[in-house]
Amino acid sequence: MSLRELGAAHIDGIDPYTHEAYEERTGMRAGRESFEDIAAGAMTGRAYSLIVCSFAMHLVEQSRLAGVAFQLSEIGSKLLILTPHKRPVLRAQWGWELEEERVLHRVRARLHRSKWECD
């Protein structure tokens, strides 16, 4: 809803667990891809100017994080991670460069830029 208020023209929501609540609240269908699906390439062929991962990326198993991050770097120019933790920390070899980090009320907002956009 906040992205709409900021003028986002096209929003794709994805949540394998709370997709029904998303659909009810926004009136838009939500994808059901999991982090495992994303790591396996389920999002290949899509393109986004911004990917927002709100209060979920810190839950990705460490062994799967590199694959998820890399797959997202291939479809998105920027990645905004909102997290209540210091994790996840994305590595440059996974396709992302940290642009900015802000902390407000113990919530971290990290904005990353895809290395493919930087080259």
Q: Using one digit for the tens of pLDDT, what is the confidence trace for 31-74?
A: 999 999 999 999 999 999 999 999 889 889 999 999 999 999 99
113, HSE (Cβ side, Cα atoms, 13 Å): 7
Nearest to 75 by CA among 111, 48, 96, 97: 48
Cβ atoms 56, 77 nearer than 8 A = no
pLDDT at residue number 82: 95
Q: Does domain 47-118 have CATH number 3.40.50.300?
A: no
Report which of 28, 117, 29 is spatially closest to residue 76, judged by C-alpha positions: 117
Residue 119 in this model has a pLDDT that exceeds 60: no
**What does the alpha-carbon distance between residue 48 and residue 17 come to, in Å, rounded to a whole number?**
22
Average pLDDT score, the chain: 92
pLDDT band at 105 (very low <50, low <70, confident <90, very high): very high
Residue 116 near residue 98 (C-beta atoms within 8 A): no
